[in-house]
Amino acid sequence: TVWASCIEVNGDVIPPIGKPVSNTQLFILDKQLKPVPVGAHGELHIAGEGLARGYLNRPELTAETFIANPFYDKSNPQFTSKRFYKTGDICKYLPDGNIAYLGRTDHQVKIRGFRVELGEIEAALRQLDSVQDVLLMTRGDIKKNDELLVAYIVKTKGANPQANVLRQALKQQLPVYMIPSAFVFLDKFPLTISDKIDRKAL
């Protein structure tokens, strides 16, 4: 695969994605392309010697995602890449300098005025012993401001998770507006013929 960061994995804890490999720079930026502080969420951008020229025969997508690097400085070996790539990945810096992956920009939703990262909630749920896997979706009418978060959970074998227990566990990590309104417990996800989760069947 193509990769731009690495970390040594020890134990069962979901690891961060690490730090950039040689000749690569990673930037976590806000929508104004300004660096975010440690712990704040932003989009991951990649620069460096390994950056691709763009998408083959897709000039519009290339122009959208391979953009000018505002930090370019040919006199500074850390900023010699004129362009960088907007990954669409939502990340944050950890205090030790590693980068944690939180989700995708295309998985952002807005619930009652709050911007919510579904991947961050999914990651928090996966850390719980009774949860083998999880998928977050929204239900309701966003125009009427009654959209709700629903967590579809594949239970760990032999576990009997309870919605109120999961809510209490999540409240230790997430703000109230990110707590799912409903939990649906499954033995397995429904799949399409191509072995992807069948979201329409949920």
| Tens digit of each residue's pLDDT (9 = 90 or more) over 19-30 | 988 888 899 999
% of the chain at pLDDT higher than 90 = 38
> 38 or 119: whose pLDDT is higher?
38
Taking residues 178-187, report their average pLDDT.
Answer: 93
Q: Are strands 66-68 and 83-93 parallel, antiparallel or unpaired?
A: antiparallel
The answer on pLDDT for 1 being more than 50 is no
| Tens digit of each residue's pLDDT (9 = 90 or more) over 184-198 | 999 999 988 878 888
- What are residue 197's DSSP bridge partners? 191
Distance CA 91, CA 104 (A): 9
| DSSP 8-state assignment for residue 191 | B
Distance CA 6, CA 93 (A): 14
